[in-house]
Amino acid sequence: MSAFSFSAAPIDTAGLAGPLASPAAGGFAAFEGRVRDQNEGRTVRSLEYEAFEALAVAEGERIVADAVRRHGATLGRCVHRTGRLAVGDVAVWVGVSAPHRAEAFAACREIIDAVKHRLPIWKKEHYADADSGWVNCEHAAHPAVAEFDYSRQSALPEVGTTGQRRLAEAHVVVVGAGGLGCHVLASLAGAGIGRLTIVDHDRVEASNLHRQPLYAIADVGRPKAEAAARRLADYNPGLRYVPVARRFDAELGAALLAGANAVVDCTDNFAAKFLVNDAAQRAGIPAVIASVYQYEGQLQVVRADRGGSCLRCQWPEATRDGLVGNCVEAGVLGPVPAILGQLQALEVLKLLLDLPGQLQDELLLVDLLEHGQRRLAAPRNPACAGRCVRVDAAAAHAPPATDVDLRLPLAAAVAAGYRIVDIREPMECAFEPLPVSGQQSMPLGRLLDGALAVEAGHPYLLVCAHGVRSHAAAEFLRARGHANVWSLAGGLAAQS
């Protein structure tokens, strides 16, 4: 059954409504447009409709599909008459089923307005005085809604059509659609992330609105995940939004994060942040985590995909929610979560587009009163209670082939606190010095003789020309109980 069709015969409204019923639809709204006996002071006896059907059907189907999606309705249908109609005949019929009445009314209204406005359908009225005339039918086959245009973004040489395609193919999960989440979602939808999963178990409250502009005052009381998805579908209809109005937990995390490219933590409590951190560790995907407090914010990118340090490396206990403020208790100005949320969106785009300067093994502190920013090196903590270090402990017994490789710029490793050990031969080192300073030189042979004193509590990164020797050396040291030893993937050759 097509969502839009023409009928030369009288419209059977009851027969059309039946198939729109669904067990999930608690509301059904219908609109009937009928031939009336007056138009601009003249008595109308009958009228005729003529349509450019090929174009009108395609456009009509799009109108119904867009309205159903935008308003979260279940099913929609529209039938328009052609041919000769008498006064009282049904000229156009729209029916929409939806979970609740609000969606049904809204989608129904949008469909009839768009059909009247946009479709190439003409009406000829026959009057009582035997005269007749084509009536200006408002619509002049207006073009369809504009296409969302990413050209200002893809003009960046680092983005281009390839980067834009990468974003279109990406799936990002956003946990928390509040002060941070609204801005993360708006920016990621604007950037054209193909699939956005929105997880929030709360409903919109009036006290959220000042910092959560995805919601209108009429959304108060509605589930945030669904209200956000609806608003975003209006903003950029070309993407897929999956609202999940449930509390995030380990089980949900495992289901939602499988196959995702990144998860963004926009929750407002530590218990939830640890859950997101742990789920990202298990799924092996990056987590972009932010928190705000009054005029300050903290941002951390947990590169679980690269063996990076995690939230538990910095904050080892999950019991501090009673001690630190959240927005409810401490108060917050709207721009503070807005800015931190935008920074989170930026980090997501940086990692999806493989842009330089990605945060890893760092904590970014932002003070928006003083406009201060600090990037603090936050390397993996050997005492971390999280899985990021438990992975190492397992690796010490049976190191999987790839677990020791870290792919990152050498300078970033230095900044992150890794102790760099150059395991090449002295002649190689002299020929091509490392692009960083402060490294220790320890040719592989001496390392295998046990000459490297590995100090517990510090991460080590072994470097060679192509990452083959350093891989073997890292496995050698891991097998001797040094859990925090890594190999620079691809070696120096991969750095340029």
Partner 1 sequence: MPRVRLQYFALLREEAGRQSETVDTAAATPADLYAELAARHGFRLPVAQLRVAVNAAFSDWDRPLRDGDEVVFIPPVAGG
Written as one string, the DSSP assignment of 63-124 is HHHHHHHHTT-SEEEEEEE-EEEETT-EEEEEEEEESSHHHHHHHHHHHHHHHHHHS-EEEE
Q: For 438, phi and psi rounded to 5 degrees?
A: 90, 5
Taking Cα atoms as reference points, which of 252, 251, 250 lies closest to residue 225? 252
Residues 6+ apart with CB under 8 A from 412: 360, 361
Q: Counting every residue, how long is the chain? A: 496
Residue 302: HSE in the Cβ half-sphere, 13 Å Cα cutoff: 32
Pick 108 or 336: Cβ nearer partner 1: 336
Pick 5 or 314: Cβ nearer partner 1: 314
Neighbours of 383 (CB within 10 A): 10
Pick 58 or 369: Cβ nearer partner 1: 369
Q: How far is the CB of 377 from partner 1 (least distance, A)?
A: 4
Pick 258 or 383: Cβ nearer partner 1: 383
Q: How far is the CB of 22 from partner 1 (least distance, A)?
A: 36
Dist CA 88 CA 103 (whole Å) = 28
Pick 55 or 330: Cβ nearer partner 1: 330
Q: How far is the CB of 338 from partner 1 (least distance, A)?
A: 12
Pick 141 or 365: Cβ nearer partner 1: 365
Q: How far is the CB of 445 from partner 1 (least distance, A)?
A: 32
Pick 90 or 338: Cβ nearer partner 1: 338
Q: How far is the CB of 182 from partner 1 (least distance, A)?
A: 10
Pick 118 or 273: Cβ nearer partner 1: 273
> How far is CA 402 from each of CA 4, 279, 456, rounded to the nearest angstrom?
55, 21, 22
Q: Which residues bind partner 1 (CB under 8 A)?
A: 176, 178-181, 266-270, 273, 290-294, 296-298, 314-315, 317, 320-321, 323-327, 330, 332, 337, 363, 365, 367, 369-370, 374-379, 417, 457
Pick 331 or 450: Cβ nearer partner 1: 331
Q: How far is the CB of 194 from partner 1 (least distance, A)?
A: 25
Sequence-ordered alpha helix ranges (H) in 406-464: 410-415, 426-431, 444-448
Dist CA 312 CA 441 (whole Å) = 32
Q: How far is the CB of 483 from partner 1 (least distance, A)?
A: 18
Q: How far is the CB of 99 from partner 1 (least distance, A)?
A: 28
> Would you give the DSSP letter of residue 490?
T
Q: How far is the CB of 323 from partner 1 (least distance, A)?
A: 6
Is 147 exposed, middle or buried (CB count within 10 Å of its CB: 0-12, 13-18, 19+)? exposed
Dist CA 232 CA 71 (whole Å) = 11
Cα angle 347-348-351, degrees, rounded to a multiple of 5: 85
